[in-house]
Amino acid sequence: MVEIINQLKELSYNLYWSFNNEFFSIFEEINRGYWRWSQKNPVKFLATINQEYLMDVIEKRNLRVRINAMYRDFKKYINEKETYFNNKYYTFDSPKICYLSAEYGIAKCLKFYSGGLGTLSGDHLKSASDLGLPLVAVGLAYSFGYMRQYINKDMRQSELYETNDFNMMPMTLLLDEDYRPLKICLNLPDREVYAQIWELKIGRVKLYLLDTFVDENNVEDKSITDILYGGGSEKRILQEILLGIGGMRVLELLGIEAKAFHINEGHSAFLVFERIKNIMNKFKIEFDEAKDICYYSNIFTTHTPVPAGIDIFPRYLMEKYFTHYAENELDVPFDRLFREGDLNNNGHDKFNMAMLAINNSNFVNAVSKLHGVIARKMWSLPPERSQIASITNGVHIKTYMSMHSEKLYIKYFGKGWFKNQNVWSRVTEIPEDEIWKTRNRNRKSLVNYVRERIADKLKLVKEPEEKITDVENLLDENALTIGFARRFATYKRGNLIFRNPERLKKLITNTDRKIQFIFSGKAHPQDEGGKNLIAEIISYSEDKKFKNKLVFVENYDVDVAKYLVSGCDIWLNNPRRPLEASGTSGMKTVANFGLNFSILDGWWIEGHSKDSGWSISSPENYESLPQEEVDRIESESLYDILEKEIIPMFYKRNDKNVPVEWIKKVRSSVGLLAPVFNTERMVKEYNELFYMKVR
């Protein structure tokens, strides 16, 4: 028995579990309530639950065999030699790839992310592990992470910062041989800042997170890694110095020799300076010569199509933190260093992190084809250098696949279904009614999940009993379910569907063909516009006309996302063109047999076809029209398609009550989109186009 518990413990410390449905299901069976209480954190769960009880349940519910089988699968995964990378590239001296990002979205209990950038970084690591890439990653261990969203009495978003107890999370502190924490040190102009290092295992990949909450630091420096995207410019520059420069010192301290450096968004671009410094010291050469060498092994991925989205620091802050560094470490005047990120090349402007990265990366890429076109216009690089490429984002499919969906793939393609190259095109072999049954199960678990969360909240704030029991009437497990969930940034237009409330009301109050909407998402704490959108949606959800058919789910995170993308029949996305660089949530719905309904922006321009989903039409000259007019035209198209195509098709059933035409569309969506819009394809592209090109 002790052995079984040890196996569970070992598993809990490798985030392999975050893409393993069986793991979740075993914890639910041990004790569902406690699993939820732990925020689906297996380390906390196992460290706090009564051990006799635990052994007892494992015995009684016959979980021993299942845990053992899962453990063996895990060992096989970790020790697998026949990986993509090994088969194609392995040499004794495989170059290490270093990946840096300010946020990582890996599991619910690791609150180190805010949205799409984080989930993309997390998915990148998971696929790198699946493919056997020799990749290490660096980020920051935020003691409060990103905020927890709750909706207050006035229907507005408020924020709560919960402490992350790292000792109770799937991460371990790196220690030296005397069991003291290993630390890196940053020499700021007037003081030293220290950071300890937490190691996370994501399958075969390691992620190192820096944490400044150590005794040596003063109170302010301790708080450098308190919250993600919080505080003003000074806090941000300190975080980014820690990530970029500190990140390189982690590799040095651990003796990791990387040959390719992936700067995922501008936050980590200061690594360029530290690398130049290291190259200068190693080869005893000057700044410019070292810069040329450094350039060839950096890759920069840009994620924003608008200048306002870029990280920028005022000159005085750069002077404060980099004058000493430039003169003493790089042996150049401050102005020379500043030029690397000086957007307008006038010496007194702001310092632009994307510019720093672009100037120092041989390979720059945007995250979809359209974003590539925009980024090339935005940055217009000199013709003699390689131009901005496009590597379209993807998602780690297993992370977002529901248990019901996975069961269906297992049933038809066996336990190793995921390794089967043709699984997506062979989805036509799964009978229509089986796909439909799975859709119904996915929808039902979403409806239950939402009801449970809402009931919990009502209990917590002491709402009267009848209001709590009334939650049973919320949503209908058989109604056409439309989901909209992402960050509430105004450009994503979370309220477009309400532009003509009368039309929406007509659709939503039809009792023969029921439809319902589920919304979720956080607004940045300082984004009043985003918060207004949330308030607007919540006020509609309280409106009698929409009651029980329209809900807002608090505190969107990767766990809510998994239920939503698998439970919804339609995944709605209606950003303002061309502001969605890629978007990924729609990709998560595909292998779960959901369909996309989207504006032609980001990845959907590449993915859309009439066989794979629906597209909202935009006016030809959308760039020259007033915003209001564009919104009007696009929302009309949205209503038209919903009314004339989507709803009728969903309710057109055969004699077994299966919507055959709908399922046909689902099958082609899986066949066309799943093989392309995933991080396995994406990471292979990064590997082949860049990582392996570095000499």
Ligand X SMILES: *Cc1c(COP(=O)(O)O)cnc(C)c1O
Contacting residues toward ligand X, per CB under 6 A: 115-116, 119, 486-487, 556-558, 561, 583-585, 588
Contact between 572 and 550 (Cβ < 8 Å): no
Contact between 445 and 567 (Cβ < 8 Å): yes
- Greatest Cα pair distance, the chain, in angstroms, is 79
Contact between 613 and 335 (Cβ < 8 Å): no
Answer whether the bond into residue 431 is a cis peptide, omega within 30°: no
For 276-305, give one letter per residue: b (16+ CB within 10 A) or e: bbbbbeeeeeebeebbeebbebbbbbbbbb
CA geometry: angle 376, 382, 385, nearest 5 deg: 90
Q: Which is nearer to ligand X, 119 or 264 (CB)?
A: 119
Helix H, strand E, coil C: the string for 271-288 is: HHHHHHHHHHHHHCCCHH
Instruction: Report the nearest approach of ligand X to the CB of residue 54 (Å).
Output: 30
- Residue written as token pair 């520059």: 237
Instruction: Report how far apart, in Å, the C-alpha atoms of 618 and of each of 493, 494, 577, 613 are.
Output: 14, 17, 9, 16
Q: Which is nearer to ligand X, 561 or 590 (CB)?
A: 561
Instruction: Report the nearest approach of ligand X to the CB of residue 545 (Å).
Output: 27
Rounded Cα distance between 204 and 556, Å, is 28
Instruction: Report the nearest approach of ligand X to the CB of residue 93 (Å).
Output: 36
Instruction: Report the nearest approach of ligand X to the CB of residue 564 (Å).
Output: 9
Q: Which is nearer to ligand X, 13 or 144 (CB)?
A: 144
Q: Which is nearer to ligand X, 267 or 667 (CB)?
A: 267
Task: Give residue 461's identity as a one-letter amino acid code.
Answer: V
Q: Is 462 left (phi over 0), alpha (psi -120 to 50) or beta?
A: left
Q: Which is nearer to ligand X, 309 or 619 (CB)?
A: 309
Q: Which is nearer to ligand X, 119 or 212 (CB)?
A: 119
Backbone φ and ψ for 185, nearest 5 degrees, come out as: -130, 135
Instruction: Report the nearest approach of ligand X to the CB of residue 585 (Å).
Output: 3
Q: Which is nearer to ligand X, 129 or 566 (CB)?
A: 566
Instruction: Report the nearest approach of ligand X to the CB of residue 561 (Å).
Output: 3
Helix H, strand E, coil C: the string for 512-541 is: CCCEEEEEECCCCCCCHHHHHHHHHHHHHH
Q: Which is nearer to ligand X, 399 or 541 (CB)?
A: 399
Name every residue whose Cβ is closer than 8 Å to that of residue 161 and which is 6 or more positions away in sequence: 144, 145, 147, 148, 227
Q: Which is nearer to ligand X, 359 or 612 (CB)?
A: 612
Pairing status of strand 613-616 against strand 595-599: parallel
Instruction: Report the nearest approach of ligand X to the CB of residue 310 (Å).
Output: 18
Q: Which is nearer to ligand X, 447 or 587 (CB)?
A: 587
Instruction: Report the nearest approach of ligand X to the CB of residue 546 (Å).
Output: 23
Q: Which is nearer to ligand X, 41 or 584 (CB)?
A: 584
Neighbours of 22 (CB within 10 A): 15
Instruction: Report the nearest approach of ligand X to the CB of residue 343 (Å).
Output: 27
Instruction: Report the nearest approach of ligand X to the CB of residue 103 (Å).
Output: 11
Helix H, strand E, coil C: the string for 126-149 is: HHHHHHCCCEEEEEECCCCECCEE
Torsion over CA: 588, 590, 593, 595 (sign): positive
Instruction: Report the nearest approach of ligand X to the CB of residue 302 (Å).
Output: 16
Q: Which is nearer to ligand X, 164 or 361 (CB)?
A: 164
Task: Give residue 201's identity as a one-letter amino acid code.
Answer: K
Rounded Cα distance between 434 and 299, Å, is 44
Helix H, strand E, coil C: the string for 326-345 is: HHHHHCCCHHHHHHCCECCC
Instruction: Report the nearest approach of ligand X to the CB of residue 126 (Å).
Output: 13
- Helices 271-283 and 247-254, packing angle to 10 deg: 40
Instruction: Report the nearest approach of ligand X to the CB of residue 17 (Å).
Output: 17
Q: Which is nearer to ligand X, 236 or 486 (CB)?
A: 486
